[in-house]
Structure 1
Amino acid sequence: MTKMHGHYVAAAFAAVVVVLLLPGCLDAYPDPDEVVVVDVGALEEGSSCYFPMTAPVVPESPEARREHYRAIAAKDLARHRRMARRRQLAASGMPDLLAATSGSGSGTPLSTFELPMQSALDSMDVGMYLVTVHFGTPAVAFSMALDTANDLTWLNCRLRGHRRHRDRGNANAKTMSLEQALEPPLVKKTWYRPARSSSWRRYRCSMRDSCARFPHVACKTPNHNESCSYHQQLQDGTNTRGIFGRETATVAVSGGRQARLPGLVLGCSTFEAGGTVDAHDGVLTLGNANVSFSKIAGKSFQGLFSFCLLATHSGRDAFSYLTFGPNPAMVAGAGFGETDIVYMQNEPSMGVQVTGVFVNGQRLNIPPEVWNYRVHGGLNLDTGTSVSSLLEPAYGTVTRALASLLDPKLEKAAEEVIPFEHCYKWDGKNPAPEAIVPKVELVLMGGARLEPSPKGVLMPEVVPGIACIGFFKREAGPNILGNVHMQEHIWEFDDVKGKLRFKKDKCTTHINISPPNANPKPNPNPNPNPTNN
């Protein structure tokens, strides 16, 4: 694990997750003592670096796998209910309870930075991808859940003089996997401490241009001395309370340098509860909200961000990444699809418009209104949801078409694998997936075609020796494209042009470099007011 300045340490992750600190970059990465920190305004356009990380695996034992996928289904269902509730509130004319933003942003083309990410499917925080961000001055590494359908970026926090958090176990205990116990794991946490960061500035309730527009604000009066507080309570069980502040992140860029990214809105959570808070240090939002990490960071990096979700079966020596600015993997080659981003009104999520679904080249008869984003919210891209879910009649039409092609090739599973409806005896190896799994294509606005991986269409080894068609039925909109079907693709969001680009990629062919150094040399000619960049 990377050594940090003084008593700061890098974030500890869920079981089996380790950070690889390997040299190398688009340019040679120098000795850490020679690293120079600059402000984002001093960076040239087009540089990029990578923070590598390994990925955990799905539990091995049959019972652990069953509980693993049951937990995924429970998490997804709770998350979907929360999304449906948000849509109901928006339709009832209560946008003040939501993050009311839409449309695209703009920014000055500058550079590229990337953050490390890994799949955390073997923790009780199932199906969540984690990304490491260095917040504060001096910089401290935090492990945060990546969420494209949320509007509140927060870290578990300890304020000076504030009562201690509820006890979440021995901070030095080793993380427990599902293989060991089907209980929330004991995870070593990294606490954000504003008093130890010289770049932290809290917001006040009296700040009408900022605090009043933040999501989940809990200010009682516009008091100048009262901190701008929030209380986010979601139907998936997550409950967090704290105060808003402005903070700086330190990011690695090419040429062996680091850059300060100021002006980020960060929640300092003094209370967290629920099943999704114990396996990470906080939440990093990429949603459609003015205060989301992606909106603020994107203004300094051409309004671009992208990510490539590593497949859960890729092995522990693989890594994936989150990128802000031009992604060399997208610039270097063609072969990508492009479609318009649908910015959901009064919601933090983003989606796309589906115009057709094909299975083995045959167009399925699905009423167009199922995909109408004005009626049902379209098709949302949600990294926090694992298994894609479809409304009727899309769910029934798609799964029946797949089952009719699979039934002659595979034997039906005798045991029921809740909550999957169509399951078969198959280990995912013989025959090869490409030989038996039907080809599914989603046609998007503009003609781009998304082809999910065969291992997402028919998920192998849901229980050892059993594979299941990888869709859940959804009772209320929107339709959800989960991270299982988003894996092994690069997804690039262009917030300036309002475009989404995507292409197939294994997410494992990129160069490894060291993460931001905790004690770099200052820029010999620093900008005296970096927050104005």
Structure 2
Amino acid sequence: MPGRSVVSILLLLLLHGLLCLQLVALTEMDDDDVMEDGSCMHFSVSPPPAPPEDADERRDYFRAMQAKDLFRHEQMITMMGSDRNGSSRRRRAKESSKLPEVMSATSMFELPMRSALNIAHVGMYLVSVRIGTPALPYNLVLDTATDLTWINCRLRRRKGKHYGRQSTGQTMSMGGEGAKEASKNWYRPAKSSSWRRIRCSQKECAVLPYNTCQSPSKAESCSYFQKTQDGTVTIGIYGKEKATVTVSDGRMAKLPGLILGCSVLEAGGSVDAHDGVLSLGNGDMSFAVHAAKRFGQRFSFCLLSANSSRDASSYLTFGPNPAVMGPGTMETDILYNVDVKPAYGAQVTGVLVGGERLDIPDEVWDAERFVGGGVILDTSTSVTSLVPEAYAPVTAALDRHLSHLPRVYELEGFEYCYKWTFTGDGVDPAHNVTIPSFTVEMAGGARLEPEAKSVVMPEVEPGVACLAFRKLLRGGPGILGNVFMQEYIWEIDHGDGKIRFRKDKCNTHHLHNSRGGEVNNNAAASSSVVHRVN
């Protein structure tokens, strides 16, 4: 162990010995390691803080949310359509990955997750992940529409080879505000014994996306430049690392072989409010695909409401999650979107408001034949966004139930707002208001029926509620944002090529004592009593 003093080694050994008295043995998940049936790995979820109560701060909050979503969509447009020809429309992750399955189909783990709904970091859910050896925690944004996991990184200074960082550790925010001082957890490859830098000369580097290598040099690190949907830019080098997770049988285990971006420069909307991004998108190097390969080919997550109790918690789970299955569970085929390749989509067959089917052209939902068609699930977009052909009939149908209320026009980012104090359940006899049911029908009979507060956003500013939809002026695909997805548990099952979901408050997941149920895709199932896993 070059570069470490004898004293440091002794201290590390002593620390290791003390930890071993308190924790179960740390195991390595090698190719021949199979977990016990019913095990998983998991990361817990805590509820998001509510939007600010102060009127000016609340207005800034929703303005920031709108700006973040707009930046994200503008960058999504630039990434679309580059190689539609010859791409598989229903490409499954299991067909593209070269990684072996080393966990049993019933193994699982979970990761703690919370939402950072505040002015600095609106509408983004955070997961705490332990990376490196020794394993240190990093707060990463949960993103279902990207395939690159990256962490704020500090490299050892080597003149002329790699980017360096100022010791103050500044990051940049959007809107021309310049650099901001931020309290961050910095990943330092030189201090992790499990970090393995990828070189430009390696075959592995040649197939990694966003690659900026100029030559197959053995001396040059495999570098990348990524500009994501929300306008965030990250520049860094690729390496392989290990994550430390707690498996559901209580064991601590190492998850090796993760492709990690060591980011030496970040700029964008919210890089000063987190340590990096955890990729849940489709792709060989995605954290979700890599982990799911070892845990039953699936992962699930539940997004808590912004109004949840501060003591509530939920999980991002890798492996079969019994909480997914129960009365009201729906399933539909995954569409691996050809325009936004890391994202997961579904085939929408219709939208109903108050039970009335809206007149929306079929091509709006057709990702197979039309550029920008279809819809994707995006946990990093807040407000559900629709192309004009869908946005107009949706907002018109909802407005018919609210048009007798005084309109408010000056709220940036929201076209349909009303002077009305919305308490959350959508029924207000005093003002003759009942928010109608909203249903998104999907292939196979699945029905997504969000709560009223996901269709009309209450208290965008004090005493004002707005329709929770945004118009996509530069094309699709449509985006189901995290406001629309909240209080549902979602599962991406690469093995079966299915998306499963059902209503859930996301705060009662104690998986060891839970039991599963059967998938039911008929209309009656969506109104069944929600099964709670205790």
Residue in structure 1 matching 2:54, options 61, 75, 89: 61
1:130 correspondence with 2:130: no
Aligned to 2:195: 200
Contact 1:166 1:271 in 2 (8 A): no
Letter in 1 for 2:502: K
State how far apart, in whole Å, the 1-side matches of 2:416 and 2:317 are.
37
* Structure 1 residues 50 and 219: CA distance shift in structure 2, 3 A: closer
Unaligned runs of 5+ in 1: 8-29, 172-181, 514-533
Query: What is the TM-score when the length of structure 1 is the normalising length?
Result: 0.82
State how far apart, in whole Å, the 2-side matches of 1:60 and 1:251 are.
37
Give the secondary structure class of the aligned counterpart of 1:460.
Answer: strand
Give the secondary structure class of the aligned counterpart of 1:406.
Answer: coil
> Equivalent residues in 2 for 1:258-337 (5 A)?
258-331=252-325, 333-337=326-330
State how far apart, in whole Å, the 1-side matches of 2:487 and 2:425 are.
21
Post-superposition offset of 1:169: 6.6
Moved more, 101-110 or 115-124: 101-110
1:354 correspondence with 2:348: yes
Give the secondary structure class of the aligned counterpart of 1:373.
Answer: coil
1:481 correspondence with 2:492: no
Contact 1:55 1:318 in 2 (8 A): no
Identity %: 50
Aligned to 1:18: none
State how far apart, in whole Å, the 1-side matches of 2:165 and 2:149 are.
19
1:74 correspondence with 2:67: yes
Aligned to 2:360: 366
State how far apart, in whole Å, the 2-side matches of 1:146 and 1:232 are.
17
Aligned to 1:502: 501
Post-superposition offset of 1:88: 3.7
1:109 correspondence with 2:104: yes
Moved more, 459-468 or 47-56: 47-56
Could you report, residue by residue, the CA deviation over 1:444-482 in whole angstroms, capped at 9, with x for unpaired residues? Answer: 011100011210101101101111110000120110100
Higher relative contact order (CA 8 A, sep 6+): 1
Unaligned runs of 5+ in 2: 1-9, 13-18, 96-100, 172-176, 513-534
Contact 2:200 2:221 in 1 (8 A): yes
> Equivalent residues in 2 for 1:337-486 (5 A)?
337-345=330-338, 347-374=341-368, 375=370, 376-408=372-404, 411-429=405-423, 432-433=426-427, 436-475=434-473, 476-486=475-485
Letter in 1 for 2:316: L
State how far apart, in whole Å, the 1-side matches of 2:140 and 2:424 are.
37
Query: What is the TM-score when the length of structure 2 is the normalising length?
Result: 0.82
Contact 2:90 2:334 in 1 (8 A): no
Post-superposition offset of 1:223: 1.1
Give the secondary structure class of the aligned counterpart of 1:122.
Answer: coil
Give the secondary structure class of the aligned counterpart of 1:84.
Answer: helix
State how far apart, in whole Å, the 2-side matches of 1:270 and 1:6 are.
30
Aligned to 1:527: none
State how far apart, in whole Å, the 2-side matches of 1:60 and 1:185 are.
25
Post-superposition offset of 1:271: 1.3
* Structure 1 residues 6 and 443: CA distance shift in structure 2, 3 A: farther
Contact 2:60 2:119 in 1 (8 A): no
State how far apart, in whole Å, the 2-side matches of 1:281 and 1:417 are.
31
Cα RMSD of the aligned pairs, angstroms, is 2.9
Aligned to 1:38: 27
State how far apart, in whole Å, the 1-side matches of 2:91 and 2:122 are.
29
* Structure 1 residues 148 and 36: CA distance shift in structure 2, 3 A: same
State how far apart, in whole Å, the 1-side matches of 2:322 and 2:168 are.
41
Contact 2:198 2:222 in 1 (8 A): yes
> Equivalent residues in 2 for 1:92-103 (5 A)?
102-103=91-92
State how far apart, in whole Å, the 2-side matches of 1:379 and 1:100 are.
14
Letter in 2 for 1:451: E
Could you report, residue by residue, the CA deviation over 1:86-125 in whole angstroms, capped at 9, with x for unpaired residues? Answer: 114335x799xxx999423173425111111111111422
> Equivalent residues in 2 for 1:201-280 (5 A)?
201-208=196-203, 210-234=204-228, 236-280=230-274
Contact 1:152 1:292 in 2 (8 A): yes
* Structure 1 residues 431 and 230: CA distance shift in structure 2, 3 A: closer
Letter in 1 for 2:462: P
Letter in 1 for 2:57: A
Post-superposition offset of 1:372: 0.8
Post-superposition offset of 1:512: 10
Contact 2:112 2:316 in 1 (8 A): yes
Letter in 1 for 2:356: Q
Give the secondary structure class of the aligned counterpart of 2:64.
Answer: helix
The alignment covers a number of residue pairs equal to: 470
Moved more, 227-236 or 358-367: 227-236
State how far apart, in whole Å, the 2-side matches of 1:275 and 1:6 are.
41
Aligned to 1:522: none
State how far apart, in whole Å, the 2-side matches of 1:500 and 1:482 are.
16
Residue in structure 2 matching 1:156, options 148, 152, 176: 152
State how far apart, in whole Å, the 2-side matches of 1:413 and 1:164 are.
52
Contact 1:52 1:512 in 2 (8 A): no
Post-superposition offset of 1:328: 2.1
Contact 2:324 2:490 in 1 (8 A): no
Letter in 2 for 1:130: L
Could you report, residue by residue, the CA deviation over 1:134-187 in whole angstroms, capped at 9, with x for unpaired residues? Answer: 11111101000111111211001111225642576799xxxxxxxxxx998753
Give the secondary structure class of the aligned counterpart of 2:148.
Answer: coil
